[in-house]
Structure 1
Amino acid sequence: MSRDTIRPDVQALLDLLATTPLAQLGELSVQETRAISKQMRTAPVDDGLVSICDISFTHSGEEIGLRCYNADNKDAPAPLILFFHGGGFVMGDLDSHHELCRTIAYEMDIPLVAVDYRLAPEHPWPAAPDDAEAAARWIVANASDELGVSLSGLVLAGDSAGANLAAVTARALIDNPADVALIGQFLIYPCVSLGQERPSMRENAEGYFLTRKALDWFTLNYNAPIDDPRFDLFAFDQTGMPPTLLVTAGLDPLRDEGRAYATCLIEAGVPTVYQEAVGNIHGCFSMVAAIPSTKRDVERALAALSVLIS
């Protein structure tokens, strides 16, 4: 067991999850896993505080959905957050992370666009990073006409697999710049690299929602080359990466690779803020309703992000 002290509300959720089919994550089929995940979502909140609209664009003959938050509230130039959801590259959609995106847009008071990139195994790697980069370039080219937003800068964000896509996209936009400056990245418990087993992968292998078995299952379905720079974040040069806020969870198997990546960015001279949600689990930023203490972690992260990109 991990030496990190578990929070009472986290333990209560884990006790509940142990009685549900999600306890078998990594053992069920892709279709079963997606269906169970959707069944367990909380109903989305629409209190009118954030304007929301769905649009799409075409890439590689596929329609890629986008959900826009706060896009019609900005007359002056403003930065925009482009968000990629987690789910192991296999699960997740615009609804799975709706509450998190809505919270970020409201608390930051800037536009946010979430990307419904194609999922594996139906669309194995590199479909996801292809879609992520295409979405970033489409937003830069079309934000004014399609969203009415005059972009002053772009922030790439995501959780878990989505954080991986955010960083991979950041590198692509640095190597081949778009017309708008990349001013930051917000990486929430990122999937960084599976090329080396670190202590948290053993300490938190079971009992904390995301298991080692589930990670192996996601990796198998995604089918990316383990050391390719469009999957392994350690495989590319970190020089010139944008200012970064990186958040890990103390009881996450991916915790130590997140810590290592933050160190890698700092050593490359990238302005980097590192935070850890001590006693919390992977996926917690999308579980605030079930883990109320996570609200403090989200608030602390968004306060740091505001300073980082100001």
Structure 2
Amino acid sequence: MSQPFVRPDVRAFLDYLNGLDGPRSHQVSLEQARGMMHASRHAFDAEVGKLAVIRDIAGGPCPMRLFDARAERGPGPVMVFYHGGGFVLGDIDTHAPLCAEIARLLDLPVISVDYRLAPEHPFPAGVEDAIASARWVAGNPPELGRAATGLILAGDSAGGNFTIVAALALRDEPAAVPVIAQWPIYPAANPTEGYPSFTDFGEGYLLTREGMNWFDQCYAPDAKDWRYDPLHQNQRGIPPTLVVTASLDPIRDQGRAYAAACAQAGVSVVYLEAEGTIHGFMNLRKSLPSAQIDLERCCAHLKVMLL
């Protein structure tokens, strides 16, 4: 493979990371690995910043947190967001900066879902929480404090997998309000299939083959279950879709394949590949200033979808 294009801020960040001594997250205890992800948020991501509403929501199938740029809001669309972290790491706090910025850029309420994590809760616990939480929000419970007229499902990496699965589940068994769009961000969309990007970018680009194998061992999925590999399902009838990938991501080709499957099924789909950047760039906006531009571009496309 010829040398790929790498953005200058991404090259500086990778040089820093790859020059560090010490173990990776898959080489330490589970508690330490989760602590490392929290530490990386404060070291590499933007601040949460001021927002009119940031509050935890009780009463649902799992903990959730509402982010909203407006203190009061009439009925309208609501985003349900599933964080990444390989089904093992991450939570509402690690993705709070991203959810807050999406709420600002889209001027929409964003509900972040704190689904159960593996290995304490292996497959399908987390994805069951993802589906149940979307259905719960669609039911306009009083705890929500506002009426949802439609859902936008979104999430990054493992959360991108949950986004696709939840959209399919609510297609087949509709909720109280429809899913009007989905936004899988560098999604684990087809994890049972081997792709060139897994080999090409599986070392030296933040997300590694060894790390992904560890995630898979913890998650302990059933490879034949479509709730693990949603490309086992026909995508016909799912809502307008924005698929985002990073060109230097080992799971890039899964996102490409998913976008192609959507197009082949007649779904209205926009595919954006962030050239020269890495998996996880949405959570690295302090270290990667170019990621802010990527996020703004995604939100601009999503706004058009919601017209």
Task: Report the TM-score when normalising by structure 1.
Answer: 0.93
What residue is the counterpart of 2:63 in the other structure?
Answer: 65
What residue is the counterpart of 2:105 in the other structure?
Answer: 107
Are 2:127 and 2:227, in contact at CA under 8 Å, matched by a contact in 1? Answer: yes
Are 2:51 and 2:100, in contact at CA under 8 Å, matched by a contact in 1? Answer: no
Map 1:193-204 → 2, pairs under 5 A = 193-204=190-201
CA deviations 1:23-46 (Å, max 9, x no partner) are 624333322211222223217735
What residue is the counterpart of 1:306 in the other structure?
Answer: 303
What residue is the counterpart of 2:54 in the other structure?
Answer: 52
What residue is the counterpart of 1:86 in the other structure?
Answer: 84
Which one of 164, 168, 185 corresponds to residue 167 of structure 1? 164
Q: CA deviation at 1:168?
A: 0.5
Distance 1:117-1:2 versus aligned 2 partners, 3 A rule = farther
1:251 is aligned to 2:248: yes
Q: CA deviation at 1:49?
A: 3.4
What residue is the counterpart of 1:12 in the other structure?
Answer: 12
Are 1:124 and 1:224, in contact at CA under 8 Å, matched by a contact in 2? Answer: yes
CA deviations 1:278-309 (Å, max 9, x no partner) are 00000000111110011111111000011112
Number of equivalent positions: 305
Are 1:187 and 1:247, in contact at CA under 8 Å, matched by a contact in 2? Answer: yes
45-54 or 229-238, which deviates more: 45-54
1: CA distance between counterparts of 2:153 and 2:90?
Answer: 18
Are 1:7 and 1:279, in contact at CA under 8 Å, matched by a contact in 2? Answer: yes
What residue is the counterpart of 1:273 in the other structure?
Answer: 270
Which one of 185, 198, 201 corresponds to residue 182 of structure 2? 185
1:24 is aligned to 2:21: no
Q: CA deviation at 1:58?
A: 5.0
Are 1:22 and 1:37, in contact at CA under 8 Å, matched by a contact in 2? Answer: no
Code of the residue aligned with 2:197 in structure 1: it is S
CA deviations 1:89-143 (Å, max 9, x no partner) are 0000111111110010001001110000000000001100110111111111234
CA deviations 1:43-88 (Å, max 9, x no partner) are 77354334211122353xxxx2111011864433210000000000
Distance 1:23-1:180 versus aligned 2 partners, 3 A rule = same
Secondary structure of the residue aligned to 2:222 is coil
Distance 1:45-1:257 versus aligned 2 partners, 3 A rule = closer
| Percent sequence identity over aligned pairs | 45
73-82 or 290-299, which deviates more: 73-82
What residue is the counterpart of 2:134 in the other structure?
Answer: 136
Task: Report the TM-score when normalising by structure 2.
Answer: 0.94
Secondary structure of the residue aligned to 1:40 is helix
Which one of 214, 218, 224 corresponds to residue 217 of structure 1? 214
Distance 1:298-1:58 versus aligned 2 partners, 3 A rule = closer
Root-mean-square deviation (CA, aligned residues, Å) is 1.8
Q: CA deviation at 1:225?
A: 1.1
What residue is the counterpart of 1:283 in the other structure?
Answer: 280
2: CA distance between counterparts of 1:254 and 1:141?
Answer: 34
